[in-house]
Structure 1
Amino acid sequence: MNTKLPDHISTELLIRHFSGLASKEEELVLMHWTNTSVENKELLRELHTLWADTGAISTPNTDYKKRDIDAAWQKVLAQKPVSPTNRTYTLLKIAAIILVMVGVGYLVRFLQDPQKTYTTHSTVGNIQLEDGSVVALNEASQLTYPGSFSTEERRVALSGEAFFEITPNPNQPFIIEAGPTQIRVLGTSFNVKVDDKSVTVIVETGTVQFTRGNESVLIVQGEKATFSNTTETLSPAQKTSSVGLEQFWRTKSLRFSGEKLPEVIRTIEEAYATQIKLGSEKLSDCSLSVTFNNDTLENILDVIALTLNLEISQTDQQYILTGKGCTDY
């Protein structure tokens, strides 16, 4: 049996579950994993037993960083007068390291300063964290964060999409748990998008370390990288588009500098969640240089039509642009 815990069942999730502080969404994740097999149920039961056992080890004044793990493990075993099988020994030793080395110290801090959750639905939201960092949260997104960061790091968890402006602190790195990946920064601004298919990081200023397991990529200003959930691969860093589509949800701005009309139309379709059709192949030769700021879709199409001498018609499903083309322009 594979005794390695899956990536989405994190140390923090186990601690919150055992201490009764997990959210409904976290409990559903853990319940789904537990119900997938008898082995998972048995593992969770044994972990819960060990959690109860380690309560005898922890004391409020313990220096957790200096704890002797082997001694702690022997104390746990001494409370379990059962000769463990290889399977159980392996599982419980994993649990001992998680719960004794990390969990107990984390729990004391966690109970003193419970996690907070900020969720957006149909609007964009903004949060200022206690270190001065600012997070803009896109629609249907969620950020989990502590009211007060630890002295070693600033750690949050994201689902959905957000833009981060991180207050620099070289002694306290800012870490984002994003799906199966981790983003680590010291002070910079960047966008993170997490969905069922991928995790994408786009850096506006500074440098970001994007990690999945043993894979890691550095992303600098004007670059992006993506982790694919399907292939479980982390892409190399690559240049972002100068059009501004990736940040349109936040800036409401698009900048075209000589892009061909088909590319302009594809960008507008994605930004405004609409469908636009070119009525003739000749229109593919047209290009456009213009900036749109907080414009309605109708205004944008009117500007394109006036600039390129086109006509606009509309059906229930889409807009249609027609004209003679731009070969004479």
Structure 2
Amino acid sequence: MEHKLIAFYEQTLSASEQQEVELWLEADANNKKIYDDTITIWKQAKINPEYKGMNKQKAWHQLQQQLGAATGSKKVYRLRPALWKMGAIAASVMAVIILAIFIDKPRPALYTAEAATENIKLQDNSQVTLFANATLAVASDFNKKHRTVTLSGDAFFDIAKNPQKPFVIHSGDVDVAVLGTSFTIQQNARFQTVFVHSGKVKATFQNQSVTATAQQKIVKDNSARQLKVVALQTNIEAVLKSRLLRVKDDRIDSVVQMVEDLYNVEVETAPELKSKKITSTYVIGVETPDQIIDGIAVTIGASWSKKNNRYLITK
């Protein structure tokens, strides 16, 4: 891990590795200290012993003082210049020991879903399903006093009830707090959405806070930077879990309602088209609203247009 932290400092990681370290740093305050201490020791280890201007005897004297303070002793020993080589070796060994202590500290568990979904059972028996390209960092002190995780991407949560230990998800710049409930979090460039399937969910962003219950969703508009609660028109829990919107001989007006719920868009359909029926399958998180609306229009021989967040399907 220390090599990855150093590579992160030198900015030589890939984009996915960079994100992994960033999530690790955000998941626990102690991780930032581990990172800072690791980089400090690494920098010290790179210093050339012959570097001019370096007062070795003074540096060793300071180290002796620090050691004395740590053990309660006020006695300070000065080393002769001839002993500096031994002192340098001792300092190097100490740096390795300190680094080992930092590395052995508990770190957050990190889970990543690549192309497929990843099912996770947490220590408190909560169940999490990560969808493709999502990452979950679980705090090292999870389930002690609190239950805290950090999410990047989309995921379904079924949280074990425990009023004494609130479950908090850091999702981008929104904090989602629950006691025992099931919900899905969906993130994209325009919106962060929490779909509540059961129980109650509270979301906080800056000085805003809202609460939603089953068959509602919390939407954070990334442009307007506002939270709001919206009632769901359809039951899309199964769609969110499977990531598939399957329609079989369904009316257009019912299909577009699901699209509105899933993507936080508005879709207006010409009256003469609403009763038309289609059969198709759309992949959530892969196909965009534009692609889905286009697929619907092509299937029924219609045309469509878009203005801001509103679609119009006409004959």
Q: Provide TM-score, normalisation by structure 1.
A: 0.50
Name the CA distance, whole Å, in 1 between partners of 2:156 and 2:241.
8
Q: Alpha-carbon deviations, 1:51-75, whole Å to 9, x = none?
A: xxxx99xx9xxxxxxxxxxxxxxxx
The aligned counterpart of 1:175 is 168
Name the CA distance, whole Å, in 1 between partners of 2:187 and 2:260.
21
**Letter aligned with residue 182 of structure 2:** S
Residue 144 of structure 1 deviates from its aligned partner by 0.6
The aligned counterpart of 1:198 is 191
Change (3 A) 1:125 1:21: farther
**Letter aligned with residue 252 of structure 2:** L
Contact 1:201–1:226 (8 Å) recurs in 2: yes
The aligned counterpart of 2:239 is 248
Tell me the SS of whatever aligns to 1:19: helix
The aligned counterpart of 1:128 is 121
Contact 1:159–1:195 (8 Å) recurs in 2: no
Alignment gaps of 5+ in structure 1: 1-7, 23-54, 60-107, 272-277, 298-315, 324-329
Q: Alpha-carbon deviations, 1:104-152, whole Å to 9, x = none?
A: xxxx999642101111122111100011000011111111113652422
Mean alpha-carbon deviation: is it higher for 261-270 or for 158-167? 261-270
The 5 Å alignment of 1:143-292 reads 143-146=136-139, 149-235=142-228, 237-244=229-236, 248-251=239-242, 260-261=251-252, 264=255, 284-286=273-275
**Letter aligned with residue 176 of structure 1:** I
**Letter aligned with residue 213 of structure 1:** Q
**Letter aligned with residue 115 of structure 2:** S
Name the CA distance, whole Å, in 2 between partners of 1:205 and 1:169.
15
Q: Alpha-carbon deviations, 1:70-89, whole Å to 9, x = none?
A: xxxxxxxxxxxxxxxxxxxx
Name the CA distance, whole Å, in 1 between partners of 2:251 and 2:213.
28
Contact 1:243–1:255 (8 Å) recurs in 2: no
Q: Alpha-carbon deviations, 1:181-204, whole Å to 9, x = none?
A: 101111110111123322111110
Contact 1:115–1:147 (8 Å) recurs in 2: yes
Name the CA distance, whole Å, in 2 between partners of 1:116 and 1:214.
30
Name the CA distance, whole Å, in 1 between partners of 2:172 and 2:103.
21
Q: Alpha-carbon deviations, 1:256-278, whole Å to 9, x = none?
A: 8997525526857999xxxxxx9
The aligned counterpart of 1:139 is 132
Contact 1:211–1:217 (8 Å) recurs in 2: yes
**Letter aligned with residue 145 of structure 1:** V
The aligned counterpart of 2:35 is 20
The aligned counterpart of 1:42 is none
Change (3 A) 1:320 1:258: closer
Structure 1 runs, 4 residues or longer, greater than 4 Å off? 10-15, 108-111, 252-260, 265-271
Pairwise CA RMSD of aligned residues?
Answer: 4.4
